[in-house]
Structures are given as C-alpha cells and as structure tokens.
C-alpha cells in the first residue's frame, strides 16, 4: 500500500482511464523531422512511460500549415504523422500509460522558421517578444483552421492515441480570439464576449464532429497570463463557465503565462526561484467554476506536494513535466516509498527549454541521459569488466562520473581536496537567485552518495604516492576551474575581488560604492550585483554584452531584470574593465572604444569568466591505463557539460561488448 493514496488512485478523464494522477504535460523535444516524430522522441517518452507516468501529452502538434511554431513542430494535420503516432501509442500503452496529442496553433506567436510565413491572428496586434505583426484572419482562413483542429484530432484518434488537448494557453491562437486585448474584430468572431468565444467553441464542436463521443478532448489554458493587460483568473473563470455550458470539455489543463510578453513568458517554463506549485490555487478556482476535471502543473516536483494537491481537490491530474525529465522513474520510486532515490528538478531551465530555444534536442542538466536515451542506452546495457576508478574532484562532473561508475558496478574512489562536495555549487548556493538550483543539486548528489559504495575521501589532496598506492585502472580528473583575471593594470589591488571571493566570505571590507564587471553574460555578475545591493551597497553593474544576461535563457533573464529594477541597480551594458590607473577605474566602450574614468569607488567585483585547472591531468596522464579529464578542467563551460561528461566518461569504462539497441 503506497503512502500516496491520492496520487496513485485511478481516475477517468472523458473516455480515458488513467492508472494514476501523474502527468507529463506537452513539451517540445525538437525530435521532429519534416513534421514527423523521430525514434529519439519515442525512446524519450518510453523511458517516462516505463517509469510509471499515468498520462503523457505529446508536444504541440500544428493543426494547420500556418500554425508551425518552429521548423521542428509536429504536422498534426498531416496523415504522415500517423505511423509515428501508432508506434508511440503502442509502446506507451505497453506500460499502461495513456497518451494524448496537443493540438496547437500559435497564431502570432512564431518562434522561428526557415521561411517566415505570414503570421495569422484574430487582429493585427503584435507579439512584442518575437517582434511579429500578424495579419487578421479572414472568414475562410478561420473556417480552415477550425477544420484543421478537427482533422488533427482525427489523425490522433486513427493512430490510437487516447485523446487530445487543445492548446489555448500562453496567448496562443484561441486565446488571441477570446481576449479583448488582442481581438479587435468587428465581425461575428470579435466584439462581445460570446463572439470572441465563438472560435474556441467552434473548434471544440468541430473536433467532436470528427472524433465522435468515444474519445477524450480538453483544453489547456492560462488561468493568469501574468501580463499587465491580459487574461487574469477572473476572466479565466468566466471563460470556463461559458465553455462548459456550451460544449463538451472533458478536462481543463491549468497553467499560467503568455508567450508575447517578457514577464508573461517566464511562466511557460518557470525557473527557480519561482515558487513550487504556485498554479494550484488557480486550478482550484477553475475546478469549482467548471465542475470538470482539472490538471495543474508548473514547478511541482515532489510527490508529497502532488499527492496533497489531488487530496485537497485542487486538481485531478498533476503535471510533473520537468520532474519526469530529471527522473523518469519518479512515479515507480514514489509508489514504493523510495523517496530518497528521487532526483529533483533544479529549476535551472538550461537544457530543457534552454535547448528548445536554441533549436537543440531536449536535454537536462541533472539528468544528462534525458533526450539521449536512444543514443546512450546501448552503452548502459553493454557488457563491462569491473574496473578500479579514481575520480579526482567532487564538483558536478566528478560527482556524476563517480555515481555513474558506481551504478555500473565499478570500484570507485572519489578524492576531493576541500571538506565538502559540490565545487562551484558551493559558490552558487550563496547567490540569491541561484540558491535553490545549487542546493537541490547538492541534495540530489548527497543522497545518492550516501546510498552508493563509493569510497569518498574529502579534505584530501591527491598525491603521486597515493595514486601509486591505489593503482587505479582509470583516473578521471574533474578538478574544475579558477577565475580568469583580465590582463590589465591594477588587478592586484586588494580592492579587486572575484565573485568566488565575494560569495565565499574572503571579501574583507567592501565599502559603499561597488562596481561589478560582467564579461561573460552569465549569472555570477548579476547575482553579485543583486547580493551587494540587497546589502545596501551602491552598485553599478557593467556588462560587456549587448544586454544583461545575454547567455542566460530569456525566462530567467526576465526574473533577473525584474529584480535589478526592483532594487534599482544601475545597469550599464557595453563596457569592459580597462584596469585601474592612478586610482581611477577605466571603463572601455566596446563600440566606440572611448574610455570613461571613475574616481569614486570602493570595491570592484570581477565576473570575468574562468580558466581550466588543466595542470593535474598533465601530471597524472601516464599513471593509469585510462586517464580522462572532464568538466571545467577540460574547458570551463557550464554544469550541463560537466554532468554530461561525467555520465559519458563513466559509461565508457570497461566496455567489452556493445548493448542491445533500443
Ligand atoms: C522543453 C519544453 C517545451 C515545452 N513545450 C510546450 C508545448 O509544446 N506546449 C505546451 O503547452 N507547453 C510546453 N511546455 C511547458 C510545459 O508543458 C510545462 O507547462 C512547463 O514545463 C512547466 O511545468 P513543469 O514545472 O512541471 O515542468 C514546454 C516545456 C519545456 C520544458
Ligand atoms: S534542465 Fe534543469 S530545469 Fe530542465 S528538467 Fe533538467 S534540472 Fe529541471
């Protein structure tokens, strides 16, 4: 008997019986070629079905050629998707997981395309975020798109999927019709509330005409678009009341956010530090208003929270999308009460939506296997000979390598010169907005280490004698990086600090006036500025980038900018640090090459990147049959590369024959 009696109770949604309440909501994998899901997408979802998810909603599938979000959008309206859908349905059903398709038209929201089609919408109202001005759809186009929803639902049904979700969330096309903020039409699809609702009502009617009663059809909507002018919870309640009165809707999947605005877009995939489960008060209101089953998601990562949400009647299904990206086995682990072995999502958004936005296949910082199931499972399944593995350095790369090697049955010794694990995570955990990311990752690894057979030796500097004594078959160097200091005058001034020194308490007296220099456009400079301003220093943040946070995903940049504005941090992009001359700090404009001098300052904080600790590898590379270097000591990059190289370097150890392909 499981402790999660609500989460693991069965439920009927429309015509679909679900074995539990755990849902993977629609999310693009970018594993789509010519409109068709690829075998990589299949392998990705099979892992989550095998792990016990009750329902998987496949990623947005365009209902019409005018509605492709990117060149890697599923062509849901085209019968060429059927064979791939058949395969997905067949494989997922083997694990008792049900599968829906998400029917999608972005309207004015077009992320990217090889050729920029004319964007369609209810009216010519721009998407500010993508800089797109759509043209108003004429009546024939409206009828054609409505028909596209019906045809796409039929494709899903013919392929053996269990249902469809019509995407009305995040300000996509149906919402562009129902919102008075975007719909300025004067015909029967605009003006009054009933007229603005006509588009979605006709979509649902047409879908039912195509699929018949023995299918499941619901919608996804943003209860609060989180914008200055868009739909709020009161509007959403009114929309739901009207819909359920006028047409059959089997479920409402509640989320928040809006694609067309910066602040709204954050909520499409909310990063840390946005609160866990923050949509569940909204879903409760929608459930009460509509008296139909409701799904809710966004930052729900803990089965305890998910169980409470169902138990309290706030939702019937709980979206745990990134929680399942990180740990596909979460449902199986939760049902048997093995909570300690669950890896939690960090909320970093780096490799899930971060990859999507860069046109790359889905990945995950904490689980580098995610999205690479097809490529890496044969390596996991290959026959290996047991090896003695010495891992030097317990940052994310070394930790991931050690734990993977241990799970593969090797003998692992992990040596770390500091007294704690984590490497740079120990710095990151002191950064105000990155704290949760670092602490969650540290917690994931700490719990795993405690359950492993790894011989963890903290506070020990590795020596040649020690290596000779261990006689490892494999050495993995994962000794990280150190701050890069620009080669300009004055950096040896004691008033010049690195971000590492600032956060690790080696700062001394900082004084009132602090200049922070960000060279790389990543989190350290911004976090240093926020940290100092919160402690009442006068802070100017200089950035050598076109805009602040240039290398960070937009949704997180939105949160950083909000914070910087709230704190009134003085932000100046386009300058680098030109050194200190006669007690004056030189700023150099990257475009004009003109310099400015600053006389009044007390402390300079440098966030100017990192250099690799490559020396150890050069010294030990002959001391074992296999010696590798991974993560920052190979080249300073991000945690994503660190965990990926940790995984792959360990999976390659001792392989003697290749595994069975998936
Ligand atoms: C890579 C990625 C792609 C996404 N694509 C879609 C999509 O196609 N349709 C959609 O409605 N939501 C999409 N989302 C949003 C998710 O469905 C979900 O609402 C979001 O990840 C927040 O839930 P979570 O905290 O459980 O992950 C996407 C999310 C991610 C991470
Ligand atoms: S990349 Fe980060 S936010 Fe995305 S699923 Fe992985 S841990 Fe979670």
Query: How high is the mean pLDDT of the chain?
Result: 96
DSSP string, 228-245: SSS--HHHHHHHHHHHHH
CB 320 within 8 A of CB 20: no
State residue 505's pLDDT score: 82
Q: From residue 182, give the alpha-carbon distance in Å to each of 63, 69, 298, 423.
A: 21, 19, 25, 48
Helix (H) or strand (E) holding 58: strand 55-62
Report how far residue 331's alpha carbon sits from residue 419's, in angstroms, rounded to the nearest whole number: 35
State residue 69's pLDDT score: 79
Query: Is the C-beta atom of 269 inside 6 A of ligand 1?
Result: yes
Report how far residue 191's alpha carbon sits from residue 205's, in angstroms, rounded to the nearest whole number: 21
Q: Is the pLDDT reported for residue 662 higher than 60?
A: no
Q: Is the pLDDT reported for residue 39 higher than 90?
A: yes
Ligand 1, atom 6: closest residue by C-alpha? 27
Other C-beta atoms within 10 Å of 465: how many?
Answer: 8
State pLDDT tens for residues 390-432: 999 999 999 999 999 999 999 999 999 999 999 999 999 999 9
Query: Is the C-beta atom of 413 inside 6 A of ligand 2?
Result: no
CA 294 to ligand 1 centroid distance, Å: 17
Report how far residue 170's alpha carbon sits from residue 222's, in angstroms, rounded to the nearest whole number: 6
CA 331 to ligand 1 centroid distance, Å: 19
Instruction: Please choose, from the candidates 88, 105, 106, 86, the residue with its C-alpha nearest in 3D space to the C-alpha of residue 97.
Output: 88
Instruction: Please choose, from the candidates 415, 419, 418, 435, the residue with its C-alpha nearest in 3D space to the C-alpha of residue 427.
Output: 435
Q: From residue 366, give the alpha-carbon distance in Å to each of 349, 361, 380, 393, 485.
A: 11, 16, 17, 18, 29
Mutate to test the pocket of ligand 2, among 27, 365, 438 (most ligand atoms within 8 A of CB): 365
State residue 407's pLDDT score: 97
Mutate to test the pocket of ligand 2, among 301, 319, 323, 325 (most ligand atoms within 8 A of CB): 325
The DSSP letter of residue 614 is: -
Across the range 16-27, mean pLDDT stands at 98
Q: Is the pLDDT reported for residue 74 higher than 80?
A: yes
Q: Report angle CA 16, 22, 24 to the nearest 5 degrees.
A: 90
Across the range 302-323, mean pLDDT stands at 98
> Is 53 exposed, middle or buried, given 0-12, 13-18 or 19+ CB atoms closer than 10 A?
buried
Report how far residue 535's alpha carbon sits from residue 532's, in angstroms, rounded to the nearest whole number: 5
State pLDDT tens for residues 460-482: 999 999 999 999 999 999 999 99
State pLDDT tens for residues 601-629: 999 999 999 999 999 999 999 999 999 99
Q: Which atom of ligand 2 is nearest to the CA of 352?
A: 4
Other C-beta atoms within 10 Å of 1: how many?
Answer: 6
Provide, rounded to the nearest whole percent, the portion of the chain with pLDDT above 90: 94
State residue 67's pLDDT score: 87
Report how far residue 646's alpha carbon sits from residue 441's, in angstroms, rounded to the nearest whole number: 14
State residue 507's pLDDT score: 67
Give the helix ranges, DSSP H, for 512-638.
Answer: 523-534, 554-567, 615-620
Across the range 11-37, mean pLDDT stands at 97
Using DSSP, how many helices (H) and how many strands (E) does the chain show?
22, 32
Q: Is the pLDDT reported for residue 60 higher than 80?
A: yes
State residue 660's pLDDT score: 46
CA 266 to ligand 2 centroid distance, Å: 15
CA 486 to ligand 1 centroid distance, Å: 40
State residue 370's pLDDT score: 98
Query: Is the C-beta atom of 102 inside 6 A of ligand 1?
Result: yes
Other C-beta atoms within 10 Å of 79: how many?
Answer: 12
Other C-beta atoms within 10 Å of 406: how many?
Answer: 22
State residue 658's pLDDT score: 61
The conformational region for residue 68 under phi > 0 = left, psi -120 to 50 = alpha, else beta, is: beta
Q: How would you write 332-364 as a 3-class SS string?
A: HHHHCCCHHHCCCCCCCCCCCHHHHHCCCCCCC
Residue 367's φ and ψ, nearest 5 degrees, are -120, 85
Mutate to test the pocket of ligand 2, among 29, 322, 363, 523 (most ligand atoms within 8 A of CB): 322
Q: From residue 604, give the alpha-carbon distance in Å to each of 69, 514, 595.
A: 44, 6, 17
Provide, rounded to the nearest whole percent, the portion of the chain with pLDDT above 70: 98
State residue 116's pLDDT score: 77
Task: Say which ligand is closest to the CA of 267.
Answer: 1
Query: Is the C-beta atom of 320 inside 6 A of ligand 1?
Result: yes
Report how far residue 340's alpha carbon sits from residue 605's, in angstroms, rounded to the nearest whole number: 39
Residue 496's φ and ψ, nearest 5 degrees, are -100, 120
Report how far residue 597's alpha carbon sits from residue 575's, in angstroms, rounded to the nearest whole number: 12
Q: Is the pLDDT reported for residue 661 higher than 90?
A: no
Query: Is the C-beta atom of 322 inside 6 A of ligand 2?
Result: yes
CB 645 within 8 A of CB 630: yes
The conformational region for residue 11 under phi > 0 = left, psi -120 to 50 = alpha, else beta, is: beta
605: CB partners within 8 A, 6+ apart: 497, 498, 499, 502, 514, 515, 516, 517, 525, 528, 532
Token pair in block for residue 112: 């990217």
Report how far residue 570's alpha carbon sits from residue 540's, in angstroms, rounded to the nearest whole number: 5
All structural domains of the chain: 11-28+54-107+139-322 (3.20.20.70), 382-482+615-657 (3.40.50.720), 485-608 (3.50.50.60)
The angle, 0 to 180 degrees and rounded to 10, between the axes of the packed helices 82-93 and 39-50 is: 20
Cis peptide leading into 417, omega within 30 of 0?
no
Helix (H) or strand (E) holding 597: strand 595-598
Report how far residue 467's alpha carbon sits from residue 251's, in angstroms, rounded to the nearest whole number: 61
Token pair in block for residue 577: 């640090």
Task: Say which ligand is closest to the CA of 638.
Answer: 2
Residue whose token pair is 């798109």 = 145
The DSSP letter of residue 79 is: G
Instruction: Please choose, from the candidates 67, 77, 60, the residue with its C-alpha nearest in 3D space to the C-alpha of residue 153.
Output: 77
Report how far residue 62's alpha carbon sits from residue 70's, in angstroms, rounded to the nearest whole number: 10
Q: Full-prediction pTM beyond 0.85? A: yes
Parallel/antiparallel/unpaired status of strands 610-612 and 481-483:
antiparallel
Give the helix ranges, DSSP H, for 124-192.
Answer: 139-158, 173-178
Report how far residue 284's alpha carbon sits from residue 293's, in angstroms, rounded to the nearest whole number: 10
State residue 174's pLDDT score: 98
Distance of CA 238 to the CA centre of its chain: 31
Higher pLDDT, 316 or 661: 316
Instruction: Please choose, from the candidates 63, 19, 341, 87, the residue with its C-alpha nearest in 3D space to the C-alpha of residue 204.
Output: 63
Report how far residue 166's alpha carbon sits from residue 178's, in angstroms, rounded to the nearest whole number: 14
């Amino acid at each position: 008997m499981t402790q999660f009696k609500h989460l693991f109770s069965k439920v009927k949604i429309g015509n679909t019986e679900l074995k539990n309440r755990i849902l993977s909501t629609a999310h693009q994998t970018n594993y789509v070629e010519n409109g068709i899901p690829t075998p990589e997408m299949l392998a990705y979802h099979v892992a989550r079905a095998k792990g016990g998810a009750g329902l998987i909603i496949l990623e947005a599938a365009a209902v019409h050629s005018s509605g492709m979000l990117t060149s890697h959008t599923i062509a849901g309206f085209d019968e060429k998707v059927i064979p791939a859908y058949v395969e997905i349905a067949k494989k997922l059903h083997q694990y008792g997981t049900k599968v829906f398709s998400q029917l999608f038209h972005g309207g004015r929201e077009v992320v990217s395309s090889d050729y920029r089609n004319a964007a369609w919408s209810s009216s010519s109202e721009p998407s500010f975020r993508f800089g797109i001005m759509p043209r108003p759809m004429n009546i024939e186009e409206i009828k054609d798109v409505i028909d596209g929803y019906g045809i796409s639902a039929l494709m899903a049904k013919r392929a053996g999927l269990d249902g469809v979700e019509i995407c009305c969330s995040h300000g996509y096309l149906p919402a562009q019709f129902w919102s008075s903020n975007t719909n300025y039409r004067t015909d029967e699809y605009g003006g009054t509330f009933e007229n603005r609702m006509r588009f979605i009502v006709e979509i649902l009617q047409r879908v039912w005409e195509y699929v018949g009663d023995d299918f499941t059809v619901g919608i996804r909507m943003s209860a609060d678009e989180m914008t200055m002018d868009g739909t709020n919870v009161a509007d959403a309640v009114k929309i739901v009341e009207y819909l359920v009165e006028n047409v059959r809707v089997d479920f409402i999947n509640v989320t928040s956010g809006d694609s067309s605005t910066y602040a709204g877009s954050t909520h499409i995939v909310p990063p840390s530090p946005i609160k866990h489960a923050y949509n569940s008060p909204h879903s409760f209101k929608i459930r009460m208003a509509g008296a139909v089953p409701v799904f809710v998601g966004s930052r729900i990562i803990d089965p305890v929270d998910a169980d409470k949400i169902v138990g309290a009647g706030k939702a019937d299904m709980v979206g745990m999308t990134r929680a399942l990206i990180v740990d596909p086995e979460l449902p199986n682990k939760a049902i048997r009460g093995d909570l300690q072995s669950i890896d939690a999502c960090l909320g970093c958004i780096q490799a899930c939506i971060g990859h999507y936005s860069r046109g790359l296949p889905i990945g995950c910082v904490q689980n580098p296997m995610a999205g690479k199931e097809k490529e890496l499972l044969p390596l996991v399944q290959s026959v290996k000979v047991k090896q003695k593995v010495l891992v030097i350095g317990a940052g994310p790369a070394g930790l991931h390598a050690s734990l993977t090697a241990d799970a593969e049955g090797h003998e692992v010794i992990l040596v770390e010169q500091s007294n704690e694990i984590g490497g740079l995570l120990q710095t990151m955990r002191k950064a105000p907005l990155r704290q949760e990311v670092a602490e969650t990752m540290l917690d994931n690894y700490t719990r795993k280490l405690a359950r492993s057979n790894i011989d963890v030796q903290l506070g020990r500097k590795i020596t040649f004698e020690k290596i000779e004594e261990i006689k490892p078959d494999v050495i993995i160097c994962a000794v990280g990086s150190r701050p890069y200091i620009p080669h300009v005058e004055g950096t040896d001034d004691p008033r010049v600090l690195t971000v590492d020194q600032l956060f690790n308490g080696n700062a001394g007296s900082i004084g009132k006036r602090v200049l922070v220099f960000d060279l790389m456009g990543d989190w350290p400079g911004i976090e240093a500025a926020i940290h100092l301003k919160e402690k009442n220093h006068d802070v100017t943040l200089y950035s050598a980038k076109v805009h602040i946070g240039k290398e960070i995903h937009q949704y997180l940049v939105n949160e950083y900018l909000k914070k910087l504005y709230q704190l009134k941090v003085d932000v100046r992009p386009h300058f680098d640090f030109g050194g200190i001359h006669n007690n004056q700090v030189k700023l150099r404009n990257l475009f004009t090459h003109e310099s400015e001098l600053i006389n009044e300052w007390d402390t300079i904080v440098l966030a100017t990147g990192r250099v690799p600790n490559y020396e150890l590898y050069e010294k030990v590379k002959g001391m074992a049959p296999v010696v590798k270097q991974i993560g920052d000591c190979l080249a300073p990059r991000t945690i994503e590369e660190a965990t990926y190289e940790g995984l792959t370097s360990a999976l390659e150890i001792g392989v003697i024959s290749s595994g069975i392909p998936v």
